[in-house]
Amino acid sequence: MTADLRHLRAFLAIAAEGTVTRAAARLHVTQPALSRTLRQLEQHLGVRLVDRSTHHLRLTAAGEAYRQRAEAAVAAVDAALDPARAGTWPLRLGHAWSALGVHTTTLLRRWARAHPDVPLELLRIDDDRAAGVLRGRSDVAILRDPAPDTLTSLRTATLLTEHRFAVVPSDGPLAARPELSLADLAAEPVAMNPITGSTTRGLWPPGAGPARVIDVGNTDDWLIAIAAGRAVGVSTEATVAVYPNPDVAYVPLTDAPPVTVVLAWPEPVTHPSVPALVALASEVVAD
């Protein structure tokens, strides 16, 4: 038996829904047919992808690893069959927040002049720490302080480092200070994005972290929480450039380490223009 795209979609539906019942409804097939398709894929690969020992199905370690490959493969096929993209092959640059900060517009304009036949699509992907590059949703990703396990299957190029800033309500007492320390923020609730943010409790010394953390799902919700006076935050100079807000003040942090910004892409590349983008981005941030 040869596995095909149908098997990958079946596996991804089960992984996303957590039960065969919901996955079957999502794909408009019967439960026995979907279970049979999953078994066929596992037999083809020679590994068990799904742990069926509980009512709520869970992926095995092999299934978690294979999920990224399956998502990338399905995304590539969907992109190739998208009528809206017929005749063009856009280069997708993913980021979780703030793109390249003050360098973003320069990169986009210089790319458009140098490569008019290759559209550069800037995609903000909030739900993936790797900004879609591991799952085929982007061809290249801008990552900040990426976790080592994110980079095991990627090539990278370091672009720059960014200073961190405290982000506080503009009408609060901290906004009037010329600079702040992490200790100044610890007494306040701190808004953090646990999926794509570069701020964690580990930024503070042991035992000196914030007493309360407010989890947010994206940069917009993070900014709203701070502007409304519900929290403070920590970000980088890129956010200062990209998200000016009259209700938020950006104050330099004196004792927080800088953030490293890298470009990351798979090998082999998923778009032939990836090397050109890496080279241009390096030039732009160096200017």
Q: What pLDDT is recorded for position 86?
A: 58
Amino acid at 193: N
Q: Is the pLDDT of residue 125 over 80?
A: yes
Q: Mean per-residue pLDDT for 132-145?
A: 94
Q: Is the pLDDT of residue 241 over 80?
A: yes
Q: Residue 158 in contact with residue 278, Cβ under 8 Å?
A: no
Q: What pLDDT is recorded for position 4?
A: 86
53-73 pLDDT tens trace = 766 788 998 888 888 788 878
pTM: 0.78
Query: Under DSSP, is residue 286 helix (H, G, I), strand (E, B) or coil?
Result: helix
Q: What pLDDT is recorded for position 1?
A: 62
Give the separation between CA 287 and CA 276, rounded to whole angstroms. Answer: 17
Range with the poorest average pLDDT among 2-6, 22-26, 160-164, 203-207: 2-6
More confident site: 12 or 175: 175
Residue 81 vs residues 25, 76, 89, 249, 253: alpha-carbon distances, Å:
24, 9, 11, 46, 48
Domains of the chain: 5-80 (1.10.10.10), 88-162+260-286 (3.40.190.10), 164-257 (3.40.190.10)
